[in-house]
Amino acid sequence: MSSVRIEPALTTGDLGPVSTSFLELRDLRVHFPTGDGLVKSVDGLSYRLERGKTLGIVGESGSGKSVTSLAIMGLHKNTSARLSGEIWLDGEELITASAEHVRTLRGKKMAMIFQDPLSAMHPFYTVGNQIVEAYRIHHKVTKKAARAHAIDMLARVGIPQPKSRVDDYPHQFSGGMRQRAMIAMALSCDPELLIADEPTTALDVTVQAQILDLIRDLQQEFNSAVIIITHDLGVVAELADDIMVMYAGRSAEYASAEQVFGQPEHPYTWGLLGSMPRLDRDRSERLLPIKGTPPSLINVPLGCPFSPRCNYSGLVGDHACTTDRPEFRDVGGGHRIACHLSAQQRQQVWEDEIRPNL
């Protein structure tokens, strides 16, 4: 694939066949025109998710995880963002759907826990009123009943004295309490698809565990599909069935949680696993980050976007890593990676260099 491409206009017409998955992204691209050039935040992303399943998305900061989620939620509509590809949710294509229609899906069909609690909450309304409003859009109940539901939700996310704190404004909450209030808002309508973008980063581990239980409960009770985006590899290990590792707006690796942690196949994933401090290991003197800096999304490196930072590009012949974009391919049993290394090379590097140091 060439790295220089003509920007396709918003896709209308010629969609592929209707997806049979609950959620399916096909070759999603989200590009932002800026003064410095076109920022290719998401550049050809495809995945599927079924009801009752949890997909964990990890990866670089700035690799397009949130932008992808906002695309699913229809929140790039009426902005300068350019979208192409297909997003199928329960048989409906959302990129070509109208903004009004997608808005009616938010809350019940799909809901998102935003990474930034303040932007999702209005500073001038009490926390309780915001949950009440969100709930009443989809449920024809009295204000009083909705308020009781709001208090119940605040209690379930562990806000102390929810009866009195329901009338607080967001600024009166601590960082983690705001995050929990937002989780309460997102869960209040029992969404069929829940996208949780860094849902527990501001929370201590005991509250975090409680929130993860809550998400599991939601899933069991309503058979919801869950996407959990986090930098905490411990959290994805706890919750996710499958894991997708993103780099520079693309998918680098996709496999079951067991495979990603037990037999990762992509050099970027190796780097990620090697750079985290772990409580279940001895304390190291120094952490080992991946060398180099994250790529520019305006001038994405030719070939493999990870090539300027990859220790193993030399193993691949013909400098393919810097000229050919590696195809995202199945390397066995649904385990997919975008890397030119052969199975034998990956196996050898993993056994000799990576595994002994994890």
Partner 1 sequence: MTTAQSRPRAAKASGATDLLTVSGLQKHFPVRRGLLQRGKDAVKAVDGLDFTVARGETLSLVGESGCGKTTTGRMLTRLIEPSAGRIDFDGQDITHLSNSRMRPLRRDIQMIFQDPYSSLNPRHTVGAIVGAPFRLQKVQTEHGVKRAVQDLLKLVGLNPEHYNRYPYEFSGGQRQRIGIARTLALRPKLIVADEPVSALDVSIQAQVINLLEDLQNELDLTYVMIAHDLSIVRHVSDRVAVMYLGKIVEIGEQAGIYTQPMHPYTVALMSAVPVPDPTKRGQRTRIRLTGDVPSPLNPPPACRFNTRCWKAKDICRTEEPPLAELAPGHRVACHFPENIASTPAAAAEPAPAPAEAK
Ligand X SMILES: Nc1ncnc2c1ncn2[C@@H]1O[C@H](COP(=O)(O)OP(=O)(O)OP(=O)(O)O)[C@@H](O)[C@H]1O
Q: Which of 120, 196, 227, 316 binds ligand SF4 (CB under 6 A)?
A: 316
The residue type at 215: I
Which residues within the stretch 123-162 sit at the binding site for ligand X (CB under 6 A)? none
Residue number, nearest CB to ligand X: 176
Residue 84: CB atoms within 10 A of its CB come to 17
Query: Which residue do the tokens 């932007």 mark?
Result: 119
Give strand pairing partners of 55. 227, 242
**150 in contact with partner 1 (CB under 8 A):** no
- The angle at the Cα of 42, spanning 41 to 48, to the nearest 5 degrees, equals 155
Q: Which of 26, 29, 31, 65 binds ligand X (CB under 6 A)?
A: 65
The residue type at 173: F
Which residues within the stretch 216-275 sit at the binding site for Mg ion (CB under 5 A)? none
DSSP 88-137: EETTEESSSS-HHHHHHHBTTTEEEE-S-HHHHS-TTS-HHHHHHHHHHH
Q: Which of 94, 181, 290, 304 binds ligand SF4 (CB under 6 A)?
A: 304
Report how far residue 180's alpha carbon sits from residue 211's, in angstroms, rounded to the nearest whole number: 8
Give strand pairing partners of 250. 247
**336 in contact with ligand SF4 (CB under 6 A):** no
**Nearer to partner 1 by C-beta: 190 or 274?**
274
Q: Which stretch binds ligand SF4 (CB under 6 A): 8-16, 187-195, 282-290, 306-314?
A: 306-314
**119 in contact with partner 1 (CB under 8 A):** yes
**63 in contact with ligand X (CB under 6 A):** yes
**Nearer to ligand SF4 by C-beta: 35 or 317?**
317
Binding partner of residue 316 among ligand X, Mg ion, ligand SF4, none, CB under 5 to 8 Å per kind?
Answer: ligand SF4
**279 in contact with partner 1 (CB under 8 A):** yes
Which residues within the stretch 89-128 sit at the binding site for Mg ion (CB under 5 A)? 115
Pairing of strands 225-229, 193-197: parallel
Which residues within the stretch 280-319 sit at the binding site for Mg ion (CB under 5 A)? none
Whether 28 contacts 83, CB under 8 Å: yes
8-state DSSP, 60: -
Binding partner of residue 267 among ligand SF4, ligand X, Mg ion, none, CB under 5 to 8 Å per kind?
Answer: ligand SF4
- The angle at the Cα of 152, spanning 146 to 156, to the nearest 5 degrees, equals 140
**310 in contact with ligand SF4 (CB under 6 A):** yes
- Min separation Cβ 321 and ligand X, Å: 22
**Nearer to partner 1 by C-beta: 12 or 164?**
164
Q: Which of 37, 175, 289, 292 binds Mg ion (CB under 5 A)?
A: 175
φ/ψ of residue 104, rounded to 5 = -70, -20
Whether 170 contacts 129, CB under 8 Å: no
**Nearer to ligand SF4 by C-beta: 66 or 307?**
307
